Amino acid sequence: MTNWTKVCAASDVPENELRKYDIGDIEVVVANYGGGFRVFPPFCPHMFEPLAVSGMLKDNVLTCGKHLWQWDLATGEKHGLSEKDMLFYDCKEDGGEIHADLSEQLTYDWEEEDELDDDDFFS
Ligand code: FES
């Protein structure tokens, strides 16, 4: 059964913007991609990069500013350089509010080889 939790007002997240929220013990980012909203864990699937800080959203595409991996938020699919899928919470807009099913926290498994710093990545 879906367990809907209010995250924020839809008007709190302008189009093409990301906002981070702490809902109990769960941190989430809400993205308004124009055609709708997505709710997802706050870190990039590649490394431990906070997407609410370094993520850029334009034309449905979310780009992580660290290594430029991308995802299409309209379809939820990988885009461009991205090698990993994003995880999304089920969400809905209801009565001007964004609700998400936060009954199970979503997290990524980061691989050890992902511990490279920027100097390694660009060499
Ligand atoms: S940390 Fe986001 S693309 Fe590498």
Alpha-carbon span 26 to 30, nearest angstrom: 13
pLDDT of residue 117: 56
Query: Does 37 contact ligand 1 (Cβ within 6 A)?
Result: no
The atom number, within ligand 1, closest to the CA of 45 reads 2
**24 CA from centroid of ligand 1 (Å):** 26
Alpha-carbon span 33 to 35, nearest angstrom: 6
- Mean pLDDT on 5-18: 98
| pLDDT above 70: residue 114 | no
Q: What is the pLDDT of residues 72-104, one digit of tens each?
A: 999 999 999 999 999 999 999 999 999 999 999
Contact in structure between 98 and 108 (CB atoms under 8 Å)? no
Going along the chain from its start, the domains and CATH numbers come out as 4-122 (2.102.10.10)
**54 CA from centroid of ligand 1 (Å):** 9
| pLDDT above 70: residue 5 | yes
**52 CA from centroid of ligand 1 (Å):** 13
Q: What contacts 24+ positions apart, CB below 8 Å, involve 21-27?
A: 23/100, 23/102, 24/102, 25/105, 26/102, 26/105
Which of 43, 51, 69 most suits a substitution to test ligand 1, by most atoms within 8 Å of the C-beta? Answer: 69
